[in-house]
Amino acid sequence: MRELSIAKKVTTAVEDAEVLDPVVDRVRGIVNAVVQPRGLRDLLHGVPVGHAVHPITVMLPIGAWVSSAILDFLPGSERASRALVGAGIAGVLPSVATGLTDWSELHEQQQRVGLVHAASNTVATVLYAASFVQRGRGRQTSGRMLGLAGLAVVGFSGYLGGHLAYRQAAAVNHAEDVPHRFPTGWRHLGALEEFAHNEPTQRTVDGVPLLVVRSGAGVDVLANTCSHLSGPLDEGELVVADGERCVVCPWHKSVFSLSTGDVIHGPATAPQPKFESRVTDGSIEVMLEGAG
Ligand code: FES
């Protein structure tokens, strides 16, 4: 079955809508100024749990509003339905905070889609707020209609959110394929003398780009493709963060430990695959645990 042309037209139009860029710039500036310090940004990205937390935070509003719509078709459920509408509205703030923080560090086409996704959610929340008020006044019919209209907008927004995650690969692990592509066992990397001290260098082994940083008689080796959005880590700078030698991605400044590949700071949430290395007679070999 082929992709519906209407769906393709809508998403392509939004991705290419340069007219949205001034609004994107303005909103991104506000988000970056408000969502501070960096520890809070890391939390909202989902660094402590190892992947984005936005999908978890949208469960309450969506779940509550869908449940409310079902109750609207059952007699005698007016109070429960209104309570669910209110619970969904109360649950909007965490999903806005996590979503906007992730969105603020995406590519421009992703940000255009994300902006329309966020605007749709705003419209849906306004519709549900009006629904809540109408239900409180005893105007059940208009309250239900406003709720159903809100749910339709949420559905459209969910479609764009799915496009953002699954088609445009926002907030997913861009280094997940590395253990599947890299062969098992020790692989030759090069001669130790080819690498300058503390200078991030890229080498490709069996088709997989690696970041190599020499430190004395040894090397640290990570996958070179940033897990956030595929930035080239060999173009980043070396820093010390949390007492560890780290590399900073040049694109959105994620910080990865050179010794473990762990995320020290987001927006990345998935670690960089860390390769074991050994030097024998001046020749470097690397191996990735679990590869193949
Ligand atoms: S590509 Fe975004 S932090 Fe690396």
* Residue of 104, 222, 229 with the most ligand 1 atoms within 8 Å of its CB, for mutation: 229
| Ligand 1 nearest atom to the CA of residue 254, by list position | 3
Residue in the structure block whose two tokens are 């473990």: 260
Q: How far is the CA of 248 from the centre of ligand 1 (A)?
A: 9
Q: How far is the CA of 254 from the centre of ligand 1 (A)?
A: 6
Which CATH fold topology does 178-287 show?
Rieske Iron-sulfur Protein (2.102.10)
Q: Is 60 helix (H, G, I), strand (E, B) or coil?
A: helix
Closest CA to 167 of 179, 155, 159, 175: 159
**CA torsion, points 8, 10, 12, 15, in degrees to nearest 10?**
-140
For ligand 1, whether the C-beta of 236 sits within 6 Å is no
Entry pTM: 0.93
Contact in structure between 247 and 222 (CB atoms under 8 Å): yes
Closest CA to 247 of 229, 270, 269, 220: 220
pLDDT in tens, the chain (292 residues): 777 788 889 999 999 999 999 999 999 999 999 999 999 999 999 999 999 999 999 999 999 999 999 999 999 999 999 999 999 999 999 999 999 999 999 999 999 999 999 999 999 999 999 999 999 999 999 999 999 999 999 999 999 999 999 999 999 999 999 999 999 999 999 999 999 999 999 999 999 999 999 998 899 999 999 999 999 999 999 999 999 999 999 999 999 999 999 999 999 999 999 999 999 999 999 999 999 8
* Residue of 211, 249, 263, 269 with the most ligand 1 atoms within 8 Å of its CB, for mutation: 249
Q: How far is the CA of 9 from the centre of ligand 1 (A)?
A: 29
